[in-house]
Amino acid sequence: MTTQPRRYHITTFGCQMNKADSERMAGILEEMGFEWSEDPHEANLVLFNTCSIRDNAEHKVYSYLGRLARRKHDEPDLTLVMAGCVAQQEGESLLRRVPELDLVMGPQHANRLKDLLQQVFDGNQVVATEAVYIMEDITKPRRDSSVTSWVNVIYGCNERCTYCVVPGVRGVEQSRTPEAIRAEMEELGRQGYKEVTLLGQNIDAYGRDLPGTTPEGRNLHTLTDLLYFVHDVPGIERIRFATSHPRYFTERLIKACAELPKVCEHFHIPFQSGDNEVLKRMSRGYTHEKYRRIIDKIREYMPDASISADAIVGFPGETEAQFENTLKLVADIGFDLVNTAAYSPRPNTPAALWDEQLSEEIKQDRLQQLNHLINVTASERSHRYLGRVEEILVEEQNQKYANQVMGRTRGNRLTFFDGDINELRGKVVKVKITEIRAFSLTGEAVEVREVVSV
Ligand code: SAH
Ligand code: SF4
Ligand code: F3S
């Protein structure tokens, strides 16, 4: 009998949440005795962790899956798993489309992968998409980086933005307890990780589903309280969080970020549109004036803070004048980075059914205009770094030049400089910035700081 190890491959699409889920699922597979295979063709188990935020993200999956389904005809022992947001959205109907699938599982079931696979190995075709209470995962995730890591703090989303599939596929908000979050961070600190990004689709909602209020009636467990609770975890040098929602963003949070030395001065706050009428039809619950006030407040406390965001162009009915309000907001704020997208009608979302859908041509034209402007403002923002000495946490080798390493400023700007990755990985290096580009910097090392655990 051969005792060849079983091998697995995971392909991940979508956001940081999906990446974090993939790392947890990889941890479960390794605990089950599977070994990682870089080449999906050599794997006995292939898992797609899918994204359905836009139509093109969803379509990519089907073309990959088609190829693997054909392979299964020659290798009946190949196990095919479809996880993530497309799996949740399509459920059972995926089996009709791709009958070769062994397991279809929604994101809420990521921690149950072992049980679900057991049912598959017992000879069943399994669909796990019902809403569940997400159990704490006791498996050690297999993390891609040995320096930076994600920690989920709240799953799901209770908002109802009219364009968005997330509430439908990720379910209602479920916060992890502060103790569980701190315990995971302490373990990361012990393992030598230096940076943690706390994750939630609407991270400002953290804790509103947890019991307990202060004597004044304020919820005990807010994101701000969580930051105070975890900021002194030994070994962790930097703390980030994403994604912020302008509707719930508070001055208390800004104050905490300014006060807590490990919390980085970088805010990812999507605005989606710079026009109040469009924002209303998106059901975002704020105005562009409110958004501007938040940014002003952040800059009042932290003048050098980096601001990034997401924006959508070509929302149904968006007029030329309304689009120009988005351009105006981008020009006025001066973002460090904006992720942009042309509106994509999604299943089970209200805006997809509205009459005033714009043509692909208009959407692409607006996307180009906006991207062009963002390039200009990001380049302007990069200028402030020229000649400055920045603290860079080194993560990896530069993929392009092996004699260089790659890290980030506290404000999240990618930075490259000459150095040996084996010596510098995980170290904080003072780097003098000598070259700037719109979204990255190059510099020279001035001083390497040994990280002292607090
Ligand atoms: N929770 C975050 C972001 C969630 S999805 C927030 O509230 O901002 C990530 C980004 O994808 C969104 O910020 C939005 O810009 C984009 N997006 C979501 N649905 C989309 C759609 N139907 N078409 C185009 N872009 C979309
Ligand atoms: Fe989607 Fe809105 Fe929730 Fe963000 S806040 S995940 S855009 S529904
Ligand atoms: Fe995509 Fe699901 Fe994230 S739809 S963006 S992977 S929450």
Regarding predicted confidence, which is higher, 316 or 1? 316
CATH number at residue 29: 3.40.50.12160
Specify the ligand 2 atom closest to the Cα of 160.
8
The string of pLDDT tens digits covering residues 327-361 is 999 999 999 999 999 999 999 999 999 999 999 99
Tokens representing 330 are: 């981008």
Among 314, 333, 319, smallest CA distance to 373 is for 333
In-domain check, residue 98: yes
> Does residue 54 have its Cβ closer than 6 Å to ligand 3?
no
Could you give the 3-state DSSP secondary structure of residue 263? Answer: strand
Residue whose CA is at the smallest distance from ligand 2 atom 2? 161
Share of the chain above pLDDT 90, in %: 87
Residue 454 pLDDT greater than 50, yes or no: no
Specify the ligand 3 atom closest to the Cα of 18.
6
Residue 451 pLDDT greater than 90, yes or no: no
Q: What single string gives the DSSP state of each residue in 420-435?
A: -HHHHTT-EEEEEEEE
| Range in 109-113, 300-304, 400-404, 444-448 the model is least confident about | 444-448
Helix axes 223-230, 251-259, angle to 10 degrees: 10
124 with 50, same domain: the answer is yes
Domain count across the chain: 3
Share of the chain above pLDDT 70, in %: 98
pTM of the model: 0.95
Specify the ligand 3 atom closest to the Cα of 53.
4
In-domain check, residue 17: yes
Mean pLDDT of 243-262: 97
450 pLDDT tier (thresholds 50, 70, 90):
low
366 with 395, same domain: the answer is no
104 with 246, same domain: the answer is no
Residue 289 pLDDT greater than 60, yes or no: yes
Range of 398's domain? 386-449
Residue 228 pLDDT greater than 80, yes or no: yes
Mean pLDDT of 390-419: 97
Q: Within 13 A of 100's CA, how many CA atoms are on the CB side?
A: 20
Tell how far the Cα of 159 is from the centroid of ligand 2, in angstroms: 6
Ligand nearest to the CA of 284: 2
Distance CA 185, CA 180 (A): 9
Of 72, 95, 128, the domain-final residue: 128
Distance CA 253, CA 192 (A): 27
Which residue is listed with tokens 């009709």? 96
In-domain check, residue 253: yes
Residue 453 pLDDT greater than 70, yes or no: no
Tell how far the Cα of 367 is from the centroid of ligand 2, in angstroms: 20
In-domain check, residue 61: yes
The string of pLDDT tens digits covering residues 365-394 is 999 999 999 999 999 999 999 999 999 999
